[in-house]
Amino acid sequence: MEKTVTKRKVVIIGTGLVGSSCAFSLVHQSLCEELVLIDVNHERAVGEALDLLHTMSYMPTVTKVKAGTYADCHDANVIIIAAGGPPKPGETRLDSLQTSAKICQAIVPEVMKSGFSGHFLVISNPVDVIAYYVWQLSGLPSSHVLGTGTAIDSARLQAILAQRFGLNPKSVQAVALGEHGDSQMVPWSQVMIANQPLDQWLAAQGQVLSLEERAQIRTETARAGWEIFQRKGTTYYGIAAAANAIVKAILHDEQTVLPVSTRVTGQYGYHDVYFGTPALLGANGVEAVYEVPLTAAEMEQLAHSVTTLQQAQASLPAVIKSGVAEA
């Protein structure tokens, strides 16, 4: 019987520190058989590809890596968009919107001309709004276009809580919702420690976590990227880990629930806006979007974040679609 081999192929567009960190993580974890790197500075992409090729003797499996062009996108399973400059000191992620939108205007139509029909994973900030824009530009189903969203914020929140309580982050179940940015919120009513509701666990430990402390932790989570930015210029290890967890869930049809930036279609009472919320990820991309139960006060906090993103979406440049986006 003739054997059928399914090739998993990933393309990364933008080989700066974030894109190259994603590339190394993909190779290190042997998540795909073929990896193509694309950058406006082609020689930079060539250098990154060569550097990765020199790691193969020490990797679990050999990944075919090369610097390529948009023509290489036609049979990719996942395309990671990591192109874009970080905000300048004193700016928010939303301040980089127009620059990132222009970059996407140059990238997405060229990708779609190749015949690409896989999944876009957006990292470029402001990730929620840019993921929405890529969906609009591509004409792909929204299930095929997602952003890393609050996946990294949720990991940061878990790390902060774990450090505070002297635990392994894997023993903390907590999620950040809304914008990957300053307006994100934490549904404290749903935080679990060692599979117990937070307040129940705190009571058993003889501890309390005041409203002021919770607000401080939310702010610390939202600003964690800036703490890194101020010290080393940008962040890349954490976001690369989050991105590759998402890629792995899609390529391996894991049916994993992760907090990503995705289009809501009625969840929380909102439509046609991208923001961070738990979603079921598998071979078909976003296969379900889950609504976290929120208190009335938490719904108000989420409303503030969603309104911020809706206003940013409304400021996007006009779209010339490569296909027909779903209604």
Catalytically active residues are: 180
CA distance 307 to 101: 19
Sign of torsion, CA 105 177 161 210? Answer: positive
Pairing of the two strands 271-282 and 256-265: antiparallel
CA distance 248 to 62: 17
Terminal alpha carbon distance of the chain: 44
- Tokens coding 102: 């222009």
Check if the beta carbon of residue 279 is closer than 8 Å to that of residue 303: no
CA distance 270 to 176: 17
CA distance 105 to 64: 29
Nearest to 180 by CA among 211, 146, 140: 146
Nearest to 309 by CA among 120, 147, 154, 158: 147
Cis peptide bond upstream of 126, omega within 30:
yes
What one-letter code names the amino acid at 246? I
CA of 11: how far to CAs of 38, 109, 163, 267, 269, in Å?
Answer: 7, 15, 35, 31, 35
Instruction: Give 41: exposed, middle or buried? Use CB within 10 Å, 0-12, 13-18, 19+.
Output: exposed
Instruction: Give 47: exposed, middle or buried? Use CB within 10 Å, 0-12, 13-18, 19+.
Output: middle
